[in-house]
Amino acid sequence: MPGNSFGKIFRITTFGESHGSAIGVIIDGVPAGLPLSEEDINFELQFRKPGSLYTSPRKEEDIAKILSGVFNGKTIGAPITIVVENRDVVSKHYEELKFTPRPNHADMAYISKYGFENWDYRGGGRASGRETVARVAAGAVAKKLLMLIGTQVAACVESMGEEVVSNSISFEDALASRCLTTRACKKEYDSRFRALLDHVIEEGDSVGAIVRVIGIGIPRGLGEPVFDKIKADLAKAMLSIPGVIGFEIGLGFKAALERGSKLMDELIVRNGEIHWKYNFYGGVLGGITIGEPLLFRVAFKPTSSIRKPMKTIDLRTLKEVEIVVRGRHDPCIGIRGAAVVEAMTAIVLVDHAMRAGLISTVRISQRDVEAINEGWERYKRNACLGRDINS
């Protein structure tokens, strides 16, 4: 089975390669009546756009075009096709790398699987981070649908290399990270992350990052026993993002170092409802959401393509050689990765909300349309528009 689709009811299929003519997504399962415009999608795309000082200098406008599924500004219950053209494509740097696969990228894995003669070596082809523009486009639709149940997600960069945000991070912090060049979870860490990036860029190197995700307004009951647990689907969604090498829910790996007595949560009553006092396990028990905030972290590896020389094999001679990767690259994938993480989280949540019967799979009522419009406008006002991405 090919693996280009994700989700059971809200189902996305992405297509396109880094240096092909366009990247796109087909979203099936969206109910009729959802107000949807290209501006809605572009709004979300701006948060993963390349072109700032600390992201890939590839200058892509990333303007979405809706080709199907929307009529008179609303969805019609048919598959929605969204495309984003690739405009700033420079393939010449990859011509020279054709016979010398980059060791930490997907090059050799794709060559072994599909054959050298069928390999799209231009900018990582299908394995490129560029594919994720399609996920963020689909994420915009998912986020709008989540307005129906009052669910919101936000992601921010909690650590970059050795720089770690040590204080506790709120949903508002994560949302406000959109205003910062480095997407730091706390404003005061933005300058520290920038200093680190300046150093890394000067050295021709890259750096890894951990992205923190916070979901609020998460209804109880999302997740299906036993293989479609929400934590399993979130893990799959996150680990499908290129460059992601770790997923941790709640206390995650730290919990594995503790005694049960220390991590004993407590059921309490707050505002007449049952809650968990500490929420150690990130809002999920038995693979089902419990109505507490959703908390997880995603680890991104340091970008594989760096300007320092790297050792590989020349496929023509099978001799060891040294290469220098040119092209345009992100010094830290986590910065733009945060927008992709948010989008994939929204996609998982909306799919499960549909499976739980909390969001209609057929049609949205007029009253709900008003609630969505109101929620979306509020969301846009709270998200940072005039952010300082080029400074």
Q: Using CB under 6 A as the criterion, what x/- string covers residues 311-350 for binding ligand FMN?
A: ------------------xx--x--xx--x----------
Q: Smallest Cα–Cα separation from 349: which of 139, 36, 81? A: 139
Q: Of 52, 56, 159, 279, which lies in the binding site for ligand FMN, with binding defined by CB under 6 A? A: 56
> Distance between CA atoms of 249 and 245, rounded to whole angstroms?
14
Residues in CB range of 109: below 8 A, 6 or more apart: none
Residue 279 touching ligand FMN (CB under 6 A):
no
Q: Of 242, 282, 283, 302, which lies in the binding site for ligand FMN, with binding defined by CB under 6 A? A: 242
Given the structure tokens 């689909």, which residue do they identify?
138
Nearer to ligand FMN, 7 or 208 (CB): 208
Q: Of 305, 342, 344, 355, which lies in the binding site for ligand FMN, with binding defined by CB under 6 A? A: 305
Give the number of other CB atoms < 10 A from CB of residue 75.
Answer: 24
Nearer to ligand FMN, 279 or 303 (CB): 303
Q: Binding residues for ligand FMN, how many (CB under 6 A)? A: 22
Residues in CB range of 94: below 8 A, 6 or more apart: 19, 121, 122, 123, 327
**In the bound complex, what is the minimum distance in angstroms from residue 141's beta carbon to ligand FMN?**
19
**In the bound complex, what is the minimum distance in angstroms from residue 147's beta carbon to ligand FMN?**
25
Nearer to ligand FMN, 62 or 233 (CB): 62
In this structure, are residues 66 and 92 in contact, taking their beta carbons and an 8 Å threshold? no
Q: Using CB under 6 A as the criterion, what x/- string covers residues 117-156 for binding ligand FMN?
A: -------x--xxx--x------------------------
**In the bound complex, what is the minimum distance in angstroms from residue 379's beta carbon to ligand FMN?**
22
**Which of 21-29, 77-85, 241-249, 290-298 is the region at the interface with ligand FMN (rule: CB under 6 A)?**
241-249
The backbone region for 168, taken as left when phi is positive above 0, alpha when psi lies in -120 to 50, beta otherwise, is beta
In this structure, are residues 75 and 31 in contact, taking their beta carbons and an 8 Å threshold? yes
User: What part of residues 209-228 is at the interface with ligand FMN (CB under 6 A)?
Assistant: none
Nearer to ligand FMN, 37 or 104 (CB): 104
Strand order in the sheet with 5-6: 5-6, 11-15, 22-28, 80-85, 64-68
Q: Smallest Cα–Cα separation from 69: which of 59, 61, 79, 60? A: 79
Specify the amino acid at residue 351.
D
The backbone region for 29, taken as left when phi is positive above 0, alpha when psi lies in -120 to 50, beta otherwise, is left
Q: Using CB under 6 A as the criterion, what x/- string covers residues 65-104 for binding ligand FMN?
A: ----------------------------------------
C-alpha R_g of the chain: 21
**In the bound complex, what is the minimum distance in angstroms from residue 296's beta carbon to ligand FMN?**
17
Q: Binding residues for ligand FMN, per CB under 6 A?
A: 48, 56, 105-106, 124, 127-129, 132, 241-243, 301, 303-305, 329-330, 333, 336-337, 340
